[in-house]
Amino acid sequence: MQRRTFFTGAAAAVAATSVSRVAMAALPEPISQASADTAAPLLPPNGRPYHPVVTLNGWTTPWRMNAGVKEFHLVAEPVVREVAPGFFVNMWGYNGQSPGPTIEVVEGDRVRIFVTNRLPENTTIHWHGQRLPNGMDGVGGLNQPHIPPGKTYVYEFQARRPGTFMYHPHSDEMVQMAMGMMGLWITHPKGKHPLIADVQRDYAFLLSAYDVEPGAMTPRVNEMTDFNIWTFNSRAFPAITPLVARQNDRVRIRVGNLSMTNHPIHIHGHEFEVTGTDGGPTPKGSRWPEVTADVAVGQMRQVELIADEPGDWAFHCHKSHHTMGAMGHDVPTMIGIDHSGLVGKIQKIVPDYMLMGERGMGDMGAMQMPLPENTFPMMAGKGPFGAIEMGGMFTSFKVRQNLGAHDYRDPGWYQPPKGTTAYEWQGAPLASQAPRQTAPGKAPGAPSVRKPHTDAADHAHH
Amino acid sequence: MASTLTRTTTRLSPLLAALVLAGCASVAPDGLRSAVGEHTEGRLPSQATLADPSPTARAQAQQQIAAWLQQPVDADNAVRIALLNSPALEAQMAALGMQDAQRVQALTLPNPTLTLGRFVNGHEREIERQLSFGLVSLITLPWRARWQGWQMEQATLTAAQQVLLHAADTRRAWLRAVAAQQSLQTAQTMHEAAAAGGELARRMARVGNFSKLEQAQELRVQQEAAAHLARTRLNAALEREQLARLMGLWGPQAGFALPAALPPLPQAEALRGGEDAEATALRERLDLRALRRDLDTTAERHGFARVGAIFGDIGASYSRNTATERGTRHDDVTRGWELDIPLPIFDWGGAASGAARANLQRSAAQLRDTALRARSEARSHWQRYRTAYDLAQQQRSEVLPLAQFMQDEAVYRYNGMFISTWQLLAQARATAQAVATATEAQRDFWLAEVDLQLALTSTSPGATPTLATSAAPATTEQGH
Ligand SMILES: [Cu+2]
């Protein structure tokens, strides 16, 4: 399912550009992306040089230089996004995908963005975190007229400070963000910056959540809390590309949150520092090491680490439900339920009934059962040791020796050196009974349940 | 009786023909069963016969019934058994026989009256002998025989309608009993689903995964299903009892088996068309034929009424008087005829004639009314039949597949842990309910078919019931 075509994908996107030379004075041709795979980093063909980012399951839009101004063309339009293998969602996005293409510029660049509205309703774009003239901030009604369907508006400003930013609509924002309208904006520093380190790998993605009824295709835009699709860049595990690093590379990961809840983003095997927010690079004295950074709603976090431990390291949101695919939230806990004699009875009525959950839900990761159409299992993904039992906001951070500097391809499963993997105890089994307080369903030492009595003489009954 | 009359009326030769007619009036030996059979011909299953009360025939019938009861009783056999075995129908046929006997009795001439008188005076003793009888009843015998014949035909037609109604009742009862038995199976499935859910909930509460309230919610579902099952079981028993009653079965015979399912719906092409419904009803219905007979009788009576009313009964008598002189012992015999004629001075027959005319008008109006009803019933029962078919067909080809689809989707959702076992079981109950509703629609079609047959070819099936089924629209309860 996973097509890891980092370089070829980008080449295709660029080839599709074909910016008409004669049309330089006219509206730039919008460039569209058909694939939800991770595109290769776009090395800047002109303008000031920088080290490009890799957008997880996304791409960076090429631009056109027009009299020293970098011109981009974003088209707001309905798209169909493959969120997980075989699971397609009707979204609104930009230039063929949700999220839209990453815009990469350099500090000091003059930027002109054409925004064409092909949605059925008004839109605008707000350039989240940018210093810019008030009239370019993109809040419909407040700073500018809304962009009606079919119209093209132009935004123009200077990218004044380096950092990690995003863009999203500020016109019927609730609906348009629930439908997946968002994108990343990276402003690279002009030359050396004392607070911004050089990195060998620079990854970026946005966090978003959707509520899609199993079997349906369109997110329920009115949902506020009960989402069931948790994504990095509108992709859910196992469809999210792994983050790949050569051993000892300095790796920067930029995460923005446009969902309606916070996400503690967690890495295994390494510790990182938050080196920047959407307010800019953090002072060195304020940085401390951690393995989980909470990214609140509307925030961006830029973390950095040295990838010095080879292996396949989990990288995910630490809210455990956010590492699950679509699931019902009203299903009672079945753990520890004795089903003897009942499964057959239920199968008499529902022949395809299978017992699930009586030992926990881990079995779900290995089960292959028919699901409603256009949905994906609650947990999926196979690793070298079996089912990974994850879905949603989960991927892996793969550190290898001897990778090419520009090699972002999935290196496959990590082969741990002999004797470095957890193993089964082969000695004598545990001799004593597991100490147990009481049977399930009864609190230890609790008296048998008593109804409240008004009668003081009730002790006689016990 | 007739021979006595013949002897005493040798001089009344013109009336001979009438007397012959009167002699012809005899009680039908089979209690008019064959006459009824002619009217029910083609309106009953083949070889369906009425009970013959003779002991040998009765024994044969019982053997035949026992043979039919060996296998599940289909609708035609239910009708055959009912016709052979129903005491109610037998009572009706016996009543018809009684009516026939009364007819014969009515056609028999009244016995002549012999008047004897003995009068004595000082010198004479007079013996008076007079033989008299009603002349008019003799003269009108041919007409009366004809009317009585018509009336008997009318009674036979009425009896035939009773037979057809009994057959229809049996057929309806059979349909209801089979459908109720099918619904019982569905209710059992629903109850099993609820019971499994209830037991699972109990186990959930036992280990602390359900609160007592959550358990109670599933228990309530189980209780409702149990109550529904009990009602359905009672209904199935009652419907079956009704069928047994109509078939005249009791004791071990009442343990007969029924087929597991109603007959399938016919193909749409095989349905009866509605275009000729009214014409068929006017041509075929026995109640219309009976009323037409009634009208004939009344019309002829109308002509007779005036004469009869004016002249009443003309009495004819023959007298032979003997006067004996006491002293001489000389007999003086006088013989002679005497006619007794009422004079129409006060009653010129106007009232009787008016009554007869009104009676004729009533008969004619009744016929028109019944024809009107027959037309209307033909139309409305055909519409009901057609709609019942469409509804049953919709249930079978659209609603049930949809229920099955929803059931499959529920399983997929359960597989994906989107819904719980209880929600899955609730869907299973809804699916079972859809099956029950489809069965009821199928039953309603066949019931409508029975009524249509009656309305077109036999008699009025009574008020046209609507097609509302007892089942409420199935709602998928989503558990919690
Ligand atoms: Cu999260």
CB pair distance less than 8 Å for B416 and A337:
no
Least confident of A244-253, A337-346, B73-82: A337-346
Q: Which residues make beta-bridge pairs with A390? A: A380
Going by pLDDT thresholds of 50, 70 and 90, the confidence category of residue B305 is: low
- CB-based contact (8 Å) between B193 and chain A? yes
CB contact under 8 A, B196 and A327: no
pLDDT at A434: 64
Assess B406–A contact: CB distance below 8 Å, yes or no: no
Q: Could you tell me if A338 lies within 8 Å of chain B, comparing CB atoms?
A: yes
Q: What is the mean pLDDT of residues A34-63?
A: 96
- Is the distance from CB of B108 to CB of B1 less than 8 angstroms? yes
What is the Cα gyration radius of chain B? 35
Q: Which of B350, B337, B354, B341 is nearest to B313 (CA)?
A: B341
Mean pLDDT is lowest, of A193-197, A453-457, B233-237, B403-407, for: A453-457
Q: Does B194 touch chain A (CB under 8 A)?
A: no
Query: A40-44, A378-382, B179-183: which range is least confident on average?
Result: A378-382
Identify the pLDDT of residue A189. 97
State whether A349 and B428 contact (CB < 8 Å). Answer: yes
pLDDT at residue B147, rounded to an integer: 77
Q: Strand ranges (DSSP E) for A27-122?
A: 54-55, 64-66, 69-84, 87-94, 103-106, 110-117
pLDDT on residue A439: 72
Q: Which of A249-263, A416-430, B130-144, B172-186 has the lowest mean pLDDT?
A: B130-144
B229 CB-near residues (< 8 Å, 6+ apart): B184, B187, B188, B190, B191
The pLDDT, as a whole number, for residue B309 is 63
Average pLDDT over residues B261-283: 91
Mean pLDDT value across residues B204-231: 94
Rg, chain A, Cα only:
26
Model confidence at B4: pLDDT above 50:
no
Residue spans of alpha helices (H) in A79-227? 173-178
Residue of B nearest to A438 (CA): B207
| Residue B217 C-alpha, separation from nearest chain A C-alpha, in angstroms | 14
Band (B155; pLDDT cuts 50, 70, 90): confident
Phi, psi of A107 (to 5 degrees): -45, 125
Task: State how far the alpha carbon of B224 is from the alpha carbons of B176, B200, B230, B372, B465, in Å.
Answer: 24, 17, 10, 48, 29
Distance from CA of A263 to the nearest CA of B (A): 23
Q: A-B interface: how many C-beta pairs under 8 angstroms?
A: 111
Q: Which residues of B touch A451 (CB under 8 A)?
A: none
B281 near B456, Cβ under 8 Å?
Answer: yes
Strands A152-158 vs A229-232: parallel, antiparallel or unpaired? unpaired
Find the CB nearest B424 among A350, A357, A377: A350
Query: Is the predicted pLDDT of residue B20 greater than 70, yes or no?
Result: no
The order of strands in the sheet holding A103-106 is A103-106, A183-188, A163-168, A126-128
Residue A323: name the closest of A315, A334, A331 by CA: A315
The pLDDT of A70-93, averaged and rounded, is 96
Residue A440, min C-alpha distance to chain B (Å) = 5
Please, which residues have CB less than 5 A from ligand 1, an ion? A 263, 317, 319, 322
Q: A130 C-alpha to center of ligand 1: Å? A: 26
A292-295 and A289-290 strand pairing: unpaired
CA distance A387 to A391: 11
Reported as a single tens digit per residue, the pLDDT across A264-311 is 999 999 999 999 999 999 999 999 999 999 999 999 999 999 999 999
In which band, very low, low, confident or very high, does the pLDDT at B404 lie, cut at 50, 70 and 90? very high
A193-197, A299-303, A450-454, B60-64: range with lowest mean pLDDT: A450-454
Chain B residue closest in CA terms to A339:
B200
Per-residue pLDDT at B318: 83
Do A330 and B412 count as a contact with CB atoms less than 8 A apart? no
Spatial distance between the Cα atoms of A94 and A168, rounded to a whole number of angstroms: 10
Nearest CA to A60 out of A242, A204, A243 is that of A204
Are A152 and A117 spatial neighbours (Cβ–Cβ below 8 Å)? yes
3-state DSSP call for residue A64?
A: strand
Q: Which residue in B205, B416, B422 is closest to A214 by CB distance?
A: B416
Residue A461: pLDDT above 70? no
Cα–Cα distance for residue pair B108/B138, rounded to 1 Å: 10
- Whether B477 and chain A come into contact, CB under 8 Å, resolves to no
Nearest-neighbour CA in chain A from B204: distance (Å): 6
User: For B1-86, where are the alpha helices, taking DSSP H only?
Assistant: 2-8, 16-24, 33-40, 55-68, 75-85
Q: Which residues of A touch B208 (CB under 8 A)?
A: 440-442
Q: What is the ipTM of this complex?
A: 0.83
- Within B407-477, strands assigned E span none
Terminal CA-CA length for chain B = 90
Could you tell me if A440 lies within 8 Å of chain B, comparing CB atoms? Answer: yes
Rounded to the nearest integer, the mean pLDDT of chain B is: 84
The encoded tokens of residue B169 equal 């009742």
Question: What pLDDT does residue A447 have?
Answer: 63
Return the structure tokens found at B197: 């859910």
Output the CA B408–ligand 1 centroid distance in Å.
32
Strand partners, A246: A400
DSSP state, B453? H
- What SS3 state is found at B316? strand
- Residue B480 is nearest to which of A330, A336, A352, comparing CB atoms? A330
Judged by a CB distance cut-off of 8 A, whether residue B404 touches chain A is: no
Contacts of A348 in chain B (CB under 8 A): 192
Please answer yes or no on whether B421 and A330 come within 8 Å at the CB atom: no
Q: How far is CA A78 from CA A101, A120, A180, A217, in A?
A: 14, 9, 10, 13
pTM value? 0.80
CA distance B478 to B422: 8
- Residue A446's pLDDT is 65
Q: What is the pLDDT of residues B121-137, one digit of tens each?
A: 878 888 888 887 777 77
Q: Largest Cα–Cα distance of chain A, in whole Å? A: 101
Interface test with A, best of B213, B417, B420 (most A CBs within 10 A): B417
Q: Please determine, for residue A132, whether its predicted confidence score (pLDDT) is greater than 50.
A: yes
CB < 8 Å from A in window 205-224 of B: 205-210, 214
- Minimum-distance CB partner of A337 among B203, B428, B432: B203
Interface test with A, best of B210, B418, B429 (most A CBs within 10 A): B418
Check residue B308 and give its pLDDT. 65
CB contact under 8 Å between A332 and B203, yes or no, is: no
B446-466 mean pLDDT? 86
- Longest Cα–Cα distance of chain B, Å, equals 134
- Model confidence at B475: pLDDT above 50: no
Question: What average pLDDT is seen over chain A?
Answer: 89
A199, two tokens: 């990195």
Contact B415 A350 (CB under 8 A): no
User: For A357, which residue in chain B has the nearest alpha carbon?
Assistant: B417
Residue A103 has φ and ψ, to the nearest 5°, of: -100, 120
**At A260, is the pLDDT very low, low, confident or very high (cuts 50, 70, 90)?**
very high
Amino acid (one-letter) located at A233:
N
Range list of H helices, B247-285: 277-284
Please answer yes or no on whether B420 and A328 come within 8 Å at the CB atom: yes
Q: How many residues does chain A have?
A: 462
Q: Pick the residue with more confidence: B195 or B22?
A: B195
Average pLDDT on B276-300 reads 87
A317-326, A377-386, B102-111, B310-319: which range is least confident on average? Answer: B310-319
CB A82 within 8 A of CB A36: yes
In this predicted structure, what is the pLDDT of residue B474? 41
Task: Give pLDDT tens digits for A213-235.
Answer: 998 999 999 999 999 999 999 99
Chain A residues within 8 A of B428 when measuring between CB atoms:
349-350
pLDDT at residue B471, rounded to an integer: 45
Cis peptide before A99 (omega within 30 of 0): yes
Ligand 1: centre distance to CA B295 (Å)? 92
A 258-277 → B contacts, CB under 8 A? none
Closest by CA position to B65, among listed B49, B54, B53? B49
Q: Kind and range of the H or E element at B183?
A: helix B141-206
Contact check, Cβ <8 Å, A328/B417: yes
Whether the pLDDT of residue A23 is over 60: the answer is no
- A332 vs B contacts (CB less than 8 Å): 204, 209-210, 214, 420, 422, 480
pLDDT tops 80 at residue B347: no
User: In chain B, what residues touch A352 (CB-CB under 8 Å)?
Assistant: 411
Residue B447 Rama label (left phi>0; alpha psi -120 to 50; beta)? alpha
Tell me which amino acid residue B244 is.
A
- Which chain B residue lies closest to A380 (C-alpha atoms)? B416
Highest mean pLDDT among A337-351, A371-385, A396-410: A396-410
- Which residue of A337, A359, A375 is the best one to mutate when testing the B interface, meaning the one whose CB has the most B CBs within 10 A? A337
Report helix, strand or coil for A281. strand
| pLDDT band, very low/low/confident/very high, at B39 (cuts 50, 70, 90) | confident
